């Protein structure tokens, strides 16, 4: 198999990012998967996108617009 490279987008590892580690992944064209150099995460682009969506569970107020900063 040929050497890996960067995919079309620079994806962070979703497993590492869940613990606030900012690790960019590389893309293995032969296996058609992104993989992390630090942890054992591997996944297709669709899986990476899905895990990134899941990781946003913390951001419950993501769609809320805050008008005031001195009252609730």
Q: Which residues bind another protein (CB under 8 A)?
A: 1-5, 22-24, 26, 28, 35, 37-42
Q: How far is the CB of 33 from another protein (least distance, A)?
A: 9
21 or 53: CB nearest another protein? 21
28 or 45: CB nearest another protein? 28
Please report, to the nearest 10 degrees, the dihedral formed by the alpha carbons of residues 34, 35, 36, 39 taken in order: 140
CA 17 from chain centre, in angstroms, equals: 6
Q: How far is the CB of 22 from another protein (least distance, A)?
A: 7
Task: Give the start-end residues of each E strand in the chain.
Answer: 26-28, 33-35, 42-43
């Amino acid at each position: 198999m040929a050497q890996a490279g960067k995919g079309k987008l620079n994806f962070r590892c979703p497993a590492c990012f869940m613990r606030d580690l900012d690790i960019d992944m590389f893309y293995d064209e032969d296996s058609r998967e992104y993989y992390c150099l630090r942890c054992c995460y591997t996944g297709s682009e669709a899986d990476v996108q899905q895990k990134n969506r899941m990781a946003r569970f913390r951001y419950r107020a993501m769609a809320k617009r805050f008008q005031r900063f001195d009252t609730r």
